[in-house]
Structures are given as structure tokens and as C-alpha cells.
Amino acid sequence: MAIKRLTKRWLFNSFGVILVIILVLIIGGAFGIRGYYYNTVRQSVMVQANYVDSLMIRYSQDGSADFSVQIRTLVEDFAGRDSMELMAIGLDGEVLITSSGFEPPADQPMPDYESAMSEGSNDRYGEYIGELNGENVLAITMMSSVSSNQLSAMRFVVSLTQVDQQVLTLIILITIIGVSILFFVIMSSSYFINSIINPIGQIGDTARLIAQGDFDARLEKSNDDEIGDLCDTINNMAEELSATDRMKNDFISSVSHELRTPLTAIKGWAETMQEGGDLDESTRRKGIHVILSETERLSSMVEELLDFSRIQSGRFNIQLEKLDIVAELSDAVLMFDERARREGITLLYEEPEEFVVLMGDRNRLRQVFVNVIDNAL
């Protein structure tokens, strides 16, 4: 579920933003290309319009020829008739002559001519881009600079069909480029997301194994990055948990062993004192001393069990004090004297006469002596 949420978040955030940006670029590019091509056609028409207007001015100043005949010749022999149509417009808005030889229907609208007429004398220009006779065209009307009793304007009409085809081709091209970019983004991002999702899934599986008690589960570090650092952290955690678990088991085993030892000593001396009515006072006192001493040690062990949390947290303390190491060893040997006698084992121990004083933990040293003797028996 987390993986699905991560993928969904990427789809709605990163991929969504990239998709919107590419769509904006495609739409903006389409309008830009269309505007550029249309503006190029417009400038070409304006060059022709200005040229025709200059010829009309020259014809009006030439008194040797009829102005109307010159205008007809200009329109019929128009050099740019292969790419655009030139129309001479009369004073009433009727088409007098065309470069193609075909006059448009009388009811055909001429929005560009109407625009040029409505602007007044300060603006002699009108333009229209739209459908005309089922074809997309650019029509520009230039009001005549020459006063004439017949001619009012010259109209240029250019078909935009080929231009629209070229614009459409370029739009399709940039759309293909945009789709290719999206495909590349999807593929590269999928690879990148999988490089994150797959390790996260492995981390989750390993973490669940560790939670179930499999402290030997480890992650394979494939990359030296943040995911690799996380793998190292999980592996270190598993090692620490494994070490803690081993320490716990060792502690329980050690405590169980150490509990049996004093209990055996107490039980042995208690049975001896119960069965042996002819024990001398010295032996009886030794037995009582062993029982009291081991009872005290059992109490200390119980206290150590309560302090196990301090051992795990590294706050285990050693209680140092001055003590006679010979006396501690003698007490440990005395604890096993009765047990050795019952098992037919002879304990040979020569106690030094002098004191050997040192700094140490009484309970820990006695524990060492007891473990050594107990293992020997």
C-alpha cells in the first residue's frame, strides 16, 4: 500500500507538473508557429500592397495614358497572382476587376473592406482572417491613395490552406517531440522510482523478519547512497539486537547455573545437619555459616536480576572494596566440601596463613571461584 501511495504521489505531483508544462509548451508553440507564419504572409501581402499603391500614384501622375486602363493592366498582369488574388474595388464597394478573371458573388462579404472604410481617412487599411467560400484566407484591403471617380481600394486575398498544412505539420512534430519527452520521463522516472521502491520493499521485509525474532536477517547494500546508509543502519540494528539477545540468553544460562550452585550447597549442609546428630560444634558452625553466606548470595543474585536492565543499558557497576581473597576462596571451597564428600571426591585445599588483601568485588570474585570449582566437580 505504501508503494502504491508513493507511485500515486509521483503521478499526481512530478509527472502531473511535467505533463502540464509540456502541454503549455505545445499549445504555446502551436500559437507561436501559427502567428509567425500568418505574420510572414501578412508582411508579404503588405509589401505587394505598398508596391501596387506606389504604382497607382505613378500612374495617376502620368497624363499620357488612361488611368483606368493602366489599373486594369496592373490587375490583370499582377506578378503575384500565383500566390494571391488582387481585386480593384469601386466606390460603391463592388469588385471592378480581379487578377484571376473571376469575379466573386455580389453578396460575398468583405469584412476587411468594411473595416478599412469604417476606420476613416486616418487608417487606410483593413484585414480579415477567416473562412471565405469554404477556405481559410487572409484578406487585406488598402484604400487608394489616388483620388478617382471609379476606384476606391485594392484588395488582396491569400489562401492560407498551404500555410495551415505547414503549421499543422509543425504542431504534429512538436507534439511528437512532447510525447517522446513524456515517454522518456516516464521510463527514466519509473527506473528511478523502482530503484527506491524495491529497496524499501526489501527493507520492510527484512524489518518484519527482525521483528519476528530472526536477528540473522541482513540487507544487501547495493548503492552507496541514502538507501545504502539506511541498509547499514538496519543491519547494525539487527547486529545489536542479536548481541542483546545472546547476552540475555547467556545471562539466563549463567543465572540458572549460579542459582543451582548455592541451592545445592544449602541443601547439602541442611541435610547433613538434619541427619548427622553427632556433628561437632565446629562443623555445625561451618554449615550454618555456609547456609547464611549462600542465602546472602542468593539475595544478591535476585538483586542482580532486578538490575538486568542496567546491564543492557551499559550501566553495570562493579562494587570495589578491600577484601581478603584467601577468605573468599576458603568460603567457596567450604561450600562444596559436603557435596564432594557425598560424591566420593576429595577436595585438597591448603589455606595460606597470611592475608592477601586487594580491591575487588566480593560477590563477583566469589562467583568466579564457585563456577570454577563447580565445573571441576
Q: Are 338 and 269 in contact (CB under 8 A)?
A: yes
Please state, in angstroms and rounded to a whole number, the distance separating the CA atoms of residues 364 and 300. 10
Q: At residue 2, does pLDDT exceed 60?
A: no
Q: At residue 230, does pLDDT exceed 50?
A: yes
CB 342: neighbour CB atoms within 10 A? 10
Please state, in angstroms and rounded to a whole number, the distance separating the CA atoms of residues 274 and 173. 108
The fraction of the chain above a pLDDT of 70, given in percent, is 91
- Please report the pLDDT score of residue 315 as a whole number: 63
Which residue carries 498551404 as its cell? 162
- What residues have CB less than 8 Å from 279, skipping those under 6 apart? 272, 273, 287
Q: At residue 65, does pLDDT exceed 60?
A: yes
For 30, the grid coordinates are: 502551436
Task: State pLDDT tens for residues 311-360.
Answer: 656 666 778 888 888 888 888 888 888 778 878 888 888 888 788 888 88
What is the mean predicted confidence (pLDDT) over 49-73?
83
Please, what's the b/e burial string for 350-365 (b: 16 or more CB within 10 A of its CB; e: otherwise)? eeeeeeeeeebebbeb
What is the mean predicted confidence (pLDDT) over 287-302?
80
User: Domains of the chain by range and CATH?
Assistant: 2-102+110-170 (3.30.450.20), 236-376 (1.10.287.130)
Q: At residue 100, does pLDDT exceed 50?
A: yes
- Please report the pLDDT score of residue 284 as a whole number: 78
Would you place residue 157 in the very low, low, confident or very high pLDDT band (cuts 50, 70, 90)? very high
Task: State pLDDT tens for residues 247-285.
Answer: 778 877 777 777 777 888 888 888 877 776 667 778 778
- Please report the pLDDT score of residue 24 as a whole number: 93
The fraction of the chain above a pLDDT of 90, given in percent, is 16
CB 132: neighbour CB atoms within 10 A? 19
Task: State pLDDT tens for residues 11-54.
Answer: 677 778 888 899 999 999 999 999 999 999 999 999 998 888 88
Length of the chain: 377
DSSP string over 230-277: HHHHHHHHHHHHHHHHHHHHHHHHHHHHHHHHHHHHHHHHHHHHHH-T
- Please report the pLDDT score of residue 121 as a whole number: 47
- Please report the pLDDT score of residue 5 as a whole number: 67
Alpha-helix residue ranges (DSSP H) falling in the chain: 2-10, 16-61, 67-76, 111-118, 161-211, 226-275, 281-306, 308-312, 325-335, 337-342, 362-376
Task: State pLDDT tens for residues 163-182.
Answer: 999 999 999 999 999 999 98
